Amino acid sequence: MIRIAQFSDLHYSEKHLTEADRCFTYAIDRAIAIKVDAAVISGDATDHALDVHAPAVERLARNVRRLADHCPILMLQGTYSHEPPGTLSIFRLLGGRYPVHVADRIGQVALTPDGRWIASDGWRFDQAPNAMRALFSCVPTVNKAAVAAAVGASAAAEAVGEQLGILLRGFAPSNQAARETAVPTIGVSHGTVYGCLTEHGVPMAGFDHEFTTGTLFGAQAQAFMLGHIHRHQGWEANGRRVAYAGSIGRFHYGEEGDKGFLLWEIGAATARFTLEPTPARRTIDICFDGKPDLEAIQAAVHAQGIEGAFVRVRWNVPDEDRHEVDRGAIQRMLHAAAEVKLEGRIVPVVRTRAAGISQAATIADKVRAWAQATEAKAGPLLACLEALQVRAPEAIASDILERQIETAAPVLVSAVAIALPALRERAIADATPKLF
């Protein structure tokens, strides 16, 4: 039995440094405290290409070295946009008590009883080492561009999955042989499993994903450790297990589930894991279909408690109402939050285009086409158009004023009738002689 701490998707960078370093530091402290035998970082240790003098590089190297002083470490190449090729090479040079093995090519690596790594010359061992504490089969991120160049862009997505399935089945004889000698077998890879859920609860369906659960179990490894998807989840079949550790921290709003690292306990015929939570930041989303409701925000503040949380308020408003949102009031209500992010989506005014209006011969025809497209009544519009064409502006203005007077006259008569008795009494009172 071997105990392995699996960390994944650390995403060290200037943007995520506070969250990543706090959570990874806590995770390493915990792993050392429970005395794990080895550690695996299953890809995306960094978020993007970093300069060597960047604070994120120093913090990450410091923590990896601290872990290497406790146990052997295997670091897997992650997504190329996050970890450009060669990014992990520096970690081979840290010089801790135990070595750091960087798995940047497809292959197998054996962990010896004294904590050393022995890598296969090819994609697998022709003859496995005699003394092994555990056998790892490593499949780093696949370069889909290289596959597309070989088989064509249209066939690349399916070709990647098919070839990985063949590769993983190729590991099965080595893993079965190791299991017969009571050696734990572990697979490590970085990619997407068909049907898994993202951190936002979206199922990953399609033909462009690297793995299925069937191809992963086809490797016959007792445990398969995965990176890339930020949500912890797992699958089980005949005592063998496949699992994503998820990201070490919460780097985006709306992420579901707990964050942490996996503590694996793996034997030749058994595998189990538990999620060890990290102190990831708490995020709260408050969303509105229309304008933000300040009372609803206040209720959310009392119900959820926002002190120290990262709060995002989102709303949708028409373009003409965009200035009615009081951003300052929202900020004041959420002052206890660690961060407040306001995201207002402005719904633009949509104008219906009347097909063929430019080909209409007369203005009247254009009006009829517009009225049909907007479901308006064309009659009153055509009457106004005719008046503009045959009457003088002064005559049109005079008619409008006369109609306004005619409309206002009954109202004025009614007002005078109501007020007249009161005015008559006031006049009589003013005319009566005052005795005192």
The tens place of each residue's pLDDT in the chain, 436 residues long, gives: 999 999 999 999 999 999 999 999 999 999 999 999 999 999 999 999 999 999 999 999 999 999 999 999 999 999 999 999 999 999 999 989 999 999 999 999 999 999 999 999 999 998 888 889 999 999 999 876 655 555 555 566 667 788 889 999 999 999 999 999 999 999 999 999 999 999 999 998 866 678 999 999 999 999 999 999 999 999 999 999 999 999 999 999 999 999 999 999 999 999 999 999 999 999 999 999 988 999 999 998 899 888 999 999 999 988 888 888 999 999 999 999 999 999 999 888 666 566 677 778 888 888 888 888 777 888 888 888 888 888 888 888 888 888 777 666 665 556 545 555 554 555 555 555 544 3
Per-residue pLDDT, 144: 67
Per-residue pLDDT, 146: 58
What is the residue extent of each domain of the chain? 2-277, 283-347, 357-429
For the domain made up of 2-277, the CATH class stated in words is alpha beta
How far is 230 from 236, CA to CA, in rounded Å?
19
Nearest C-alpha neighbor of 89 from the set 31, 46, 47, 59: 46
Contacts of 89 (CB under 8 A, 6+ apart): 102, 104
- Residue 137 three-state SS: strand
Q: DSSP state, 46?
A: B
- State how beta strands 223-227 and 185-190 pair: parallel
30 CB neighbour count, 10 Å cutoff: 17
**Dmax (CA) of the chain:** 132
How far is 244 from 280, CA to CA, in rounded Å?
17
Per-residue pLDDT, 396: 81
Nearest C-alpha neighbor of 99 from the set 85, 109, 84: 109
Whether pTM exceeds 0.85: no
Residue 224: its H or E element: strand 223-227
- Residue 108 three-state SS: strand
Per-residue pLDDT, 433: 52
Per-residue pLDDT, 354: 66
- State how beta strands 107-111 and 134-139 pair: antiparallel
Nearest C-alpha neighbor of 60 from the set 107, 3, 21: 21
- With b for 16 or more beta-carbon neighbours within 10 A and e for fewer, the 336-348 pattern comes to ebeebeeeeeeee
